[in-house]
Structure 1
Amino acid sequence: MDFTFVLCGIAVLYGVLLFFDLFFKSCMLKPYICFLKGTGISIKFFQIKWETTIFNRLFLRWGNTPTQWSIWFTWGMYLTLLILPVSVLLLIIALSQNFISTNVAGVYKSSNLVIEPLIPGLNLPASEIGYYSLSLILCSIIHELGHAISSVKEDVHIINVGINILYILPVAYVNLSSERLNALNPWRALRILCAGIWHNLVLSMIAYLLYCSLPYVYTIAFNLNQGIIVTDMKENSPLMGSRGLEVHNVITKINLCEIKNEADFYNCLHRAYVDKRGYCVHADMVHDLDESIPLKYTSNGLDCCDEEKTDNLCFEYVDHNDGVLEIPPHVCLPARTVVETATLTCGGVSNIECSNKLHCIKPMLDNVTTLIKIMRENRPDVIYIGHPGDLIQTITVSSFIPKHWTSTLLFPDMVMKFLEYIIVISTGLALINVIPCLFMDGQHITNCLVDILMTNTPREKARMVATFICLCSTVILLFHCFYTIWLKLV
């Protein structure tokens, strides 16, 4: 289903909910008003909020039980203060990357940005919105859990907790007594303010350890580093057909590039696209199979094959040896026979030459088309002529090859993908929240640090300094985010 259609459907749903909410409130429908007050639900423009005090006693029990919480949050405070200047430096580096990420041809490249806004449908696959939303709500809950427990430890009253859904993005939050928080000693307040960031960092570390260790656990039910398995194919995939790929096929090589895992798969496709090589063949085979016609111009460029010879492909003789040519400069040969027979490649970026008695022929294809040989386990090779991106966009692969059909019930790819999102989002929340920006933890952390460093300065003047720092950082962060999005859109 198209992601835009889903977003439009959600917008319509919000419109219906807001209409009935305003209608029932205007009619003073008592059961509806009592329902909203009893549940803590409120509906606004593209926003649904839920607040509750049901967890307050649980936070009190957790915060007052372990005596190690003080050490835990003190270490978290120190680590958070250490990464504060690192986060600001990364933001400045990311901003500078935006201005140097455009090459001479004017093509924007932002794949190496150290800080980049994640937007589903723009730089995140729309199909992974579920991972994105679940990871975001989990990371924000862990973040706010740190604030809640530390506030109990520092004797700051918790008013309530809640979840705010902004269109499709869920965010958890905790409301604390601002009067009590502002009255605390700056160092005690820092333990509360840094606790959420500290918990995000811990969550990232735990998720990373699981991400590294789970593949070894999965070896009980799956084969790893023995190729990749095709788990799904789109109906419009050009790889489908009687001689094409099928679900559950195990791919071991692309051309002569060996594939052990999913990362190798993408690397081999990239190599096939940028390093287009020819094939080393014997002159006898060329003479026996050549069905070339006089060279002609077509919509796809030069061609030496008859249109009825759909299995044939025009090859160009690219040997650099001087003297008499042993084969014609252009030959029309069966693509499958050439690819399956040739054991050596030639040309390419490294300009490899064929050995004696072999001749280098290269497919006559346009710049974006590649001849790809896909080797499968216990199945005939698949020969595909097209863009390598077709494989990325229309088939889904996995590094986990099940030993038995019941192994698939463990969903290893879903678990690993979820852990990837937790690592990225939790680390991102920690780095962004610690930056001294308005409406973030970094703003309050900066206020406390300025109070500590400027103890002999009037409080109003110290807060003006802190506000100026936060304003500057906020402008830089907003400019970076909007500029990055604008460059991607144009």
Structure 2
Amino acid sequence: MLQTTWIALILGFWSSLYLLDAYLKSNKTYSRHYYNFLERTGFSVSICQFRWYSTFFNRSFVRLGQWRPRLLRLWFTVGVLFGLVAMLLSVCLLTLLVINTLRKQPVDQQVLTPVMPGVNLPASQLSYYLLTLLVCGILHEMGHAIAAVRENVRVNGFGLFLLILYPGAYVDLSSEHLQVVSPLRQLRIYCAGVWHNFVIVIFALIVLFILPILLIPFYSTGSAVVITQVSENSAVSGPRGLAVGDPVTSISGCRVKDIDDWHSCVSHSIKEESIGHCLSREKITELDSTPKNLSEVAKAVDCCNSTSSTHLCFKYHIKSKSQDKYACLPARMTTDRPMCKYQSDCYIPKADMVCVYPALDNVTKLLQVFHGRKPPLLFLGHPLDLHYSVMLSNYVPKSSIIPLNLPYVLETFSKYLISLSGALVILNVVPCYALDGQWICHAFIELSLASVIPDREMRGLLYSVIILYGTALLLVNVILAMWMLFT
């Protein structure tokens, strides 16, 4: 139902925008002013698409393209080598995916996975996804523009667009200038986009790798995890529960130094019995508030008779008696005592100490969550409820003014840059109509086969066959990826 609502809102927005654009263009009163406005701003509206075009950045591209000419020539020549190798690897990889799928031997993870908001993209991640697409698109087109200036090809303008929900960028190069430069210089221009996308991947990998070092002045790691989000109306929310910013150090004696430790402690608490606490028999007798009229059978079920929110039924064992004893004890006071797992853990000379355990079923656990300087949270329930009630981070801020979610934002954005920019490399180098691979393939054929195949028509035929194969290959992979996504 939510997906249908979003689709209706998006279609309603684009329909309204298109109709408004058509009305203003056709209305005699407003059409002249509206056309002047579009010409001044560079805005344009078409079906499900909004564009902005400007020559404002042309001087910046010229300055960047004329900076260190020899270094830029080497930079974009390396980009040509990368683009050609990437094209070969991309075609081989996509062909292998199709063959494996037809032989019913699909790979565990699809290389091309369509990202669709509301289907396999959570709403909370939508901003990262759209921002990453915009950044990758801008830097991709900047690569084309700077390389074009370097090869004396005029840049007419630069623009941004929004297609339904997906942002992007484009650069307008002079087609006349492109046609007269040599194939090698064309390759430097055509390969610059995917080369810059690959550089983005490398840069994001480096940031992800050194992020803990970069954040050392502001965050501490390896001693606790910090709570970044608490689910509303969960078992741990509320004034006496867990709060955003609390550092969690242990769960019932299980040390928590990072998120992996947190997962291990939760898993351990599911498999093991609830931890016990050392208490003297004299103290048990003093604190026991079990109703006097309960039978031994009723005590084994619930010795507190569900009459108190502060007391819990505990069981313990006395050597002189074979059966377990039960006592309704104050949970907070009892769990403040030293922890124990076996009766021997409570041994103190000349003291009648026993290990009391929460009398619970096999699923419910009593856990102590130590979080900062506050009294430990007593959690009663299934450990997975605790696990899913909070979101955590390994980075504990050293000051209250330091943003709690900054490490998560940087990590998530870096991961999106790696995945989406890498996917753009794989897609754009495929020799397919309307992609960079089409022009890379044409320029490479002219560069390498002009002397071997002098006939231009024969080279054109070879180019057409390769482009048809690449287009069909990419189309089949997209169809298979969509089928895998929805089935």
* TM-score, length-scaled by structure 1: 0.76
2:37 to 31, 35, 38: 35
- For the residues of structure 2 that align with 1:309 and 1:283, how far apart are their CA atoms? 22
C-alpha contact 1:49 1:162 (8 A) present in aligned 2:
yes
1:11 Cα deviation from its structure 2 partner: 4.5
Shift in alpha-carbon separation, 1:355–1:341, aligned structure 2, 3 A: closer
C-alpha contact 1:120 1:129 (8 A) present in aligned 2:
yes
User: 1:354-369 residue pairs with structure 2 within 5 A?
Assistant: 364-365=361-362
- For the residues of structure 1 that align with 2:6 and 2:250, how far apart are their CA atoms? 38
1:161 Cα deviation from its structure 2 partner: 1.7
1:398 to 380, 393, 400: 393
Which structure would you say has the larger Rg?
2
1:144 Cα deviation from its structure 2 partner: 0.6
Aligned residue type for 2:17: L
- For the residues of structure 1 that align with 2:93 and 2:383, how far apart are their CA atoms? 34
Give ranges in structure 2 of 5+ residues lacking alignment: 348-353
- For the residues of structure 2 that align with 1:92 and 1:389, how far apart are their CA atoms? 43
* DSSP 3-state at the match of 1:50: strand
Aligned-residue Cα RMSD (Å) equals: 4.5
1:172 Cα deviation from its structure 2 partner: 0.8
* DSSP 3-state at the match of 1:469: helix
C-alpha contact 1:312 1:332 (8 A) present in aligned 2:
yes
Shift in alpha-carbon separation, 1:205–1:391, aligned structure 2, 3 A: farther
- For the residues of structure 2 that align with 1:243 and 1:35, how far apart are their CA atoms? 58
Corresponding residue number in structure 2 for 1:192 = 189
Corresponding residue number in structure 2 for 1:380 = 375
2:151 to 154, 162, 177: 154
Aligned residue type for 1:468: L
User: 1:71-470 residue pairs with structure 2 within 5 A?
Assistant: 71-88=74-91, 90-91=93-94, 112-254=109-251, 257-262=254-259, 264-266=261-263, 268-269=265-266, 271=267, 276-279=271-274, 306-308=305-307, 326-327=322-323, 342-344=339-341, 364-365=361-362, 373-386=368-381, 390=385, 394-408=389-403, 411-451=406-446, 454=449, 455-456=452-453, 458-470=458-470
Identity %: 30
* DSSP 3-state at the match of 1:160: strand
C-alpha contact 2:278 2:338 (8 A) present in aligned 1:
no
- For the residues of structure 2 that align with 1:183 and 1:469, how far apart are their CA atoms? 28
Corresponding residue number in structure 1 for 2:63 = 61
Shift in alpha-carbon separation, 1:231–1:442, aligned structure 2, 3 A: same
Task: Say how many residue pairs are matched.
Answer: 459
1:277 Cα deviation from its structure 2 partner: 2.2
Aligned residue type for 1:237: S
C-alpha contact 1:303 1:314 (8 A) present in aligned 2:
no
Shift in alpha-carbon separation, 1:461–1:100, aligned structure 2, 3 A: closer
- For the residues of structure 2 that align with 1:252 and 1:414, how far apart are their CA atoms? 23
Shift in alpha-carbon separation, 1:214–1:466, aligned structure 2, 3 A: same
1:376 Cα deviation from its structure 2 partner: 1.9
C-alpha contact 1:232 1:396 (8 A) present in aligned 2:
yes
Shift in alpha-carbon separation, 1:4–1:133, aligned structure 2, 3 A: farther
1:159 Cα deviation from its structure 2 partner: 3.1
- For the residues of structure 2 that align with 1:27 and 1:338, how far apart are their CA atoms? 78
- For the residues of structure 2 that align with 1:309 and 1:97, how far apart are their CA atoms? 61
Shift in alpha-carbon separation, 1:179–1:477, aligned structure 2, 3 A: farther
Corresponding residue number in structure 1 for 2:477 = 477
* TM-score, length-scaled by structure 2: 0.76
Give ranges in structure 1 of 5+ residues lacking alignment: 103-109, 297-301, 318-323, 346-353
1:202 Cα deviation from its structure 2 partner: 1.4
Aligned residue type for 1:418: F
C-alpha contact 1:204 1:427 (8 A) present in aligned 2:
yes
1:389 Cα deviation from its structure 2 partner: 5.8
- For the residues of structure 1 that align with 2:369 and 2:101, how far apart are their CA atoms? 37
Q: Which stretch of the first structure deviates more once superposed, 388-397 or 221-230?
A: 388-397
- For the residues of structure 2 that align with 1:310 and 1:247, how far apart are their CA atoms? 25
C-alpha contact 1:447 1:466 (8 A) present in aligned 2:
no
C-alpha contact 2:94 2:474 (8 A) present in aligned 1:
no
- For the residues of structure 2 that align with 1:145 and 1:268, how far apart are their CA atoms? 49
Aligned residue type for 1:404: S
* DSSP 3-state at the match of 2:162: strand
1:125 Cα deviation from its structure 2 partner: 2.7
- For the residues of structure 2 that align with 1:16 and 1:135, how far apart are their CA atoms? 27
